[in-house]
């Protein structure tokens, strides 16, 4: 027979697991996103972005600011309600290359950002232009760690 102290310890442990999401009732969900459409600058950067402040957004924008005349205005984001996630994998050597954030999934302990990289098929006729492999999306603010994964992995 278990002592009262052991029973209380087990009850506290069970309550703690339930309170931190350990009950197994969390259901992953797709998070709606809006793509930030811009003609990004070409770059050699390879970086992921989890942007939750205007300062972070300003810094990321400066690194990838579209080289347009007149200058493209940086979109205003309400970081009390939203966040920006993005990534850059440098530049592609022709117009058949591309990068696209496909979906964001909220899991129990993290956000999973799935992205796809397009590469030219053998023998494809591609424009001879260096293209940026950069993508940013806006979504609701969720303060969890973020994991970037290539779609299908």
Q: Left (φ > 0), alpha (ψ -120 to 50) or beta: where does 90 sit?
A: left
Q: In what order do the strands lie in the sheet with 29-30?
A: 29-30, 98-106, 111-118, 146-150
pLDDT for the residue 120: 85
In a domain, 63, yes or no: yes
In a domain, 105, yes or no: yes
User: Between the CA of residue 18 and those of 34, 91, 98, 105, 141, what are the distances in Å?
Assistant: 33, 46, 43, 22, 24
Between CA 130 and CA 71 the distance in angstroms is: 20
- Eight-class DSSP state of 151: T
- Eight-class DSSP state of 36: -
Q: Whole-model pTM?
A: 0.80
Between CA 102 and CA 151 the distance in angstroms is: 8
In a domain, 18, yes or no: no
In a domain, 1, yes or no: no
Q: Tell me whether residue 64 is exposed, middle or buried, using C-beta atoms within 10 angstroms of its C-beta: 0 to 12, 13 to 18, 19 or more.
A: buried
pLDDT for the residue 127: 85
pLDDT for the residue 60: 97
**Complete DSSP assignment for 52-119:** -SHHHHHHHHHHH----SSPPPPPP--TTTEEEEEEEEEEESSTT-EEEEEEEEE-SS-EEEEEEEE-
Q: In what order do the strands lie in the sheet with 46-51?
A: 33-35, 131-140, 82-92, 46-51
Q: Which domain holds residue 56?
A: 26-150
Per-residue pLDDT of the chain (153 residues; tens, 9 = 90+): 444 334 333 333 444 444 454 557 889 999 999 999 999 999 999 999 999 999 999 999 999 999 888 899 999 999 999 999 999 999 999 989 999 999 999 999 999 999 999 998 888 888 888 999 999 999 999 999 999 999 876
In a domain, 10, yes or no: no
pLDDT for the residue 12: 38
In a domain, 6, yes or no: no
In a domain, 12, yes or no: no
In a domain, 71, yes or no: yes
pLDDT for the residue 23: 56
Number of domains in the chain: 1
């Amino acid at each position: 027979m278990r002592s009262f102290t052991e029973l209380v310890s087990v009850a506290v442990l069970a309550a703690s697991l339930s309170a931190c999401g350990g009950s197994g009732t969390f259901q992953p969900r797709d998070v709606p996103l809006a793509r930030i459409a811009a003609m990004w600058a070409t770059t050699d950067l390879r970086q992921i972005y989890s942007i939750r402040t205007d300062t972070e957004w300003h810094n990321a924008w400066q690194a990838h600011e579209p080289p347009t005349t007149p200058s493209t205005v940086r979109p205003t984001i309400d970081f009390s309600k939203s966040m920006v996630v993005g990534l850059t994998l440098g530049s592609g050597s022709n117009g058949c290359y591309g990068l696209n954030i496909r979906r964001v999934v909220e899991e129990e302990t993290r956000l999973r950002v799935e992205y796809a990289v397009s590469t030219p098929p053998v023998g494809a006729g591609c424009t001879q232009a260096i293209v940026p492999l950069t993508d940013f999306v806006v979504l609701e603010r969720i303060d969890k760690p973020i994991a970037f994964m290539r779609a299908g992995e």
